[in-house]
Structure 1
Amino acid sequence: MTTINVPTREDVTPANQQIFDQLKGKLGFVPNLYATLAHSEQALGSYLAFQNAKSSITGKAREVVNLAVSQVNECEYCLAAHTVIGGMVGFTPDQILEIRSGRASFDARLDALARLARDVTERRGHADPELVDAFLAAGWTQENLVDAIVVVGDKTVTNYLHATTRIPVDFPAAPELKPRRAAAE
């Protein structure tokens, strides 16, 4: 099996070196998954622009989508990173585990979002119309629906990149998620 390396600053183009410097200044390091995007001259900058674009799905809501999608796609890298970020935005460890299972019983709006994000991911975009209706009934808008799907796409990109490259995870491992009971559905 081919090993995909994590490029260092010296391995990437000058444009990507500038992005590495910005990331290091902002985050204190360049996460391996971002560095891996720099194998392409354009992908890192394009991805960061996509990820940081204005959206109505921000903060806790964005982390709900990131965690639910990463769980469905079984991305150990993104689960590790977003478990850390989820804690930073105020979720408890138990809430993070519940969100990963596609639920958020502690908040009706976030629950509708988690359920929809999981369903959209599992069904490759063919969302259950009842979950779309429940999402809108929970107070989300059609703009939020579109933006939530964009966040699903954003997270799917990095989930797939890690699944393909298997680069080392440089965040603390996310706790294992216990299987859900059918009654929890």
Structure 2
Amino acid sequence: MSRITVPPVAQATGATAEVYAQIKKAAGSVPNLFVAIGALAPESLKAVLNAEGVLAASTLSKQDVETVKLLVSTLTGCDYCEAAHTVLGKMTGLSPETLRQIRKGEPTGDAKRDALIAFVRTIQQTSGTISNEAFAAIRAVGYSEAQLVDISLAVALTIFTNTFNRINDTDLDFPPVK
């Protein structure tokens, strides 16, 4: 059960109600993560949603974005985001097997995706400046320098939501990952 108690979506007022209405219009419902952030800090939720809009308009494919978000969530140990990005990954056309491979750290058979996974894993599991080899490897499979910015944004947004969910122990409103 979530540690932070927030009022139901229907009771929201002011800036919180406005941001919830935007989410409901776009997604049909307000995920528990956004309910909690919006109830406590509506401006923070707006900032996250704006950044998500920038990421959605980037040159990364939706599958690339979900690959990054699923991998970061798995590495961070956020069960909420791992469940969410498994569902969202399916919606982008990633197969259940590919999603499992991403979560388990197994090759997917797609050289570009596997290079992205290796790059994000390096970012998450090392400190300091990444090696010239890691930089060269991600560039060699076709990711542009601008896309490296977008990969960084995807990592950063995911770490924010992972961190909040780990603090809150946000109730799952996505099917749990088996």
For the criterion TM > 0.5, the same-fold answer is yes
Corresponding residue number in structure 2 for 1:50: 51
**Structure 2 matches for 1:14-163, cutoff 5 A?**
14-38=14-38, 39-53=40-54, 54-102=57-105, 104-124=107-127, 126-163=129-166
Contact 1:116–1:127 under 8 Å retained in 2: no
**TM-score with structure 1 setting the length:** 0.86
Contact 2:66–2:89 under 8 Å retained in 1: yes
The residue type paired with residue 26 of structure 2 is K
Structure 2: how far apart are the matches of 1:164 and 1:64? 23
Contact 2:19–2:42 under 8 Å retained in 1: no
Deviation at 1:132, TM superposition (A): 2.0
Corresponding residue number in structure 1 for 2:168: 165
More helix by share: 2
CA RMSD of aligned residues (A): 1.9
| Range that drifts further, 157-166 or 112-121 | 112-121
Structure 1: how far apart are the matches of 2:106 and 2:152? 17
Deviation at 1:123, TM superposition (A): 2.1
| Range that drifts further, 2-11 or 83-92 | 2-11
The residue type paired with residue 49 of structure 2 is L
The residue type paired with residue 40 of structure 1 is A
Corresponding residue number in structure 2 for 1:9: 9
Structure 1: how far apart are the matches of 2:125 and 2:6? 29
**TM-score with structure 2 setting the length:** 0.89
Contact 1:34–1:44 under 8 Å retained in 2: yes
User: Relative contact order: is structure 1 or structure 2 higher (C-alpha 8 Å, sep ≥ 6)?
Assistant: 2
- SS of 1:127's equivalent? coil
Q: Which structure 2 residue ranges, 5 or more long, are not aligned? A: none
Q: Which structure 1 residue ranges, 5 or more long, are not aligned? A: 176-185
The residue type paired with residue 46 of structure 1 is A
Identity %: 32
Structure 2: how far apart are the matches of 1:93 and 1:14? 40
